Amino acid sequence: MARLAFALAATCASTSALVAPTAAKASTSLNVATTSYDPSDFSDVKNLPGILAPVEFFDPLNFAADASESELKRYREAELTHGRVAMLASVGFLVGESGATPLFGGRVDGIAINQFWKVPEGFWPVILLFIAVPETFRALRGWMEPTVPENYFTLRAGYTPGDIDFDPLGLCPEDAMEFKEMQTKELQHGRLAMLAAAGMIVQELQTGNTLF
């Protein structure tokens, strides 16, 4: 099990740096008016990124059957967010248990699921700040202001899920179809990372031992 979790997490770690920013700049760098793919258009659920052979469109619980376009965008926003967090978590498990972290004088050790509670409490506000800043920016960029009930839990019409306008390495393709392919890669790696992170968490809960 440890080897399986390590292999899955390593795959995510090696690819997340390349695919995590893929949804960035969708609304600014793509000339979608001249292409057949608009990343903010969720009117056709079977034409969205993340659909691959041989499974093709996979929705066994029919979440998309009666969902509005706004709800579909919210589902995709949640999937991307959790996938990105899982990719970071998978890397965090490996780095945290490797002993390579230079912080806190080696006081943070043991199994990764218990390491957060060993971080000095004075450092917790820094962690919260690193979480709050991007989340606030994402909310302001993508979500309707909750000033009226109709705006509750609603993404902006022209917003592409996952697009926080963050692409420091310039990895986002200019071509719309290439961008869609990269979105699919990010989704697939995020899904793999969620399985990998879940596997590592369950393993440590069951064994009480580190992954390797």
The pLDDT, as a whole number, for residue 8 is 43
Task: Show the 3-state SS of 6-53.
Answer: HHHHHHHHHHHHHHCCCCCCHHHHCCHHHCCCCCCCCCCHHHCCCCEC
- Max mean pLDDT among 19-28, 103-112, 177-186 falls in 177-186
User: Confidence class of residue 11 from pLDDT cuts 50, 70 and 90?
Assistant: very low
The pLDDT, as a whole number, for residue 107 is 85
Mean pLDDT over 150-170 rounds to: 91
52, β-bridge pairs: 56
| CB burial of residue 89 (10 Å; 0-12, 13-18, 19+) | buried
Average pLDDT of the chain, as a whole number: 84
User: Confidence class of residue 12 from pLDDT cuts 50, 70 and 90?
Assistant: very low
Task: Return the number of other C-beta atoms located less than 10 Å from residue 74's C-beta.
Answer: 19
How does pLDDT run across 49-101, given as a tens digit for each residue? 999 989 999 999 998 988 999 999 999 999 999 999 999 999 999 999 988 77
Cα(90)–Cα(36) distance, integer angstroms: 35
The pLDDT, as a whole number, for residue 17 is 33
User: Confidence class of residue 15 from pLDDT cuts 50, 70 and 90?
Assistant: very low
Say if CB 161 and CB 76 are below 8 A apart.
yes
Cα(173)–Cα(24) distance, integer angstroms: 10
Where is pLDDT greater, at 5 or 191? 191
Is residue 161 pLDDT above 50, yes or no?
yes
Cα(83)–Cα(21) distance, integer angstroms: 12
The pLDDT, as a whole number, for residue 136 is 93
Mean pLDDT over 174-179 rounds to: 93
Is residue 155 pLDDT above 80, yes or no?
yes
Cα(88)–Cα(91) distance, integer angstroms: 5
Cα(42)–Cα(154) distance, integer angstroms: 14
Is residue 125 pLDDT above 90, yes or no?
yes
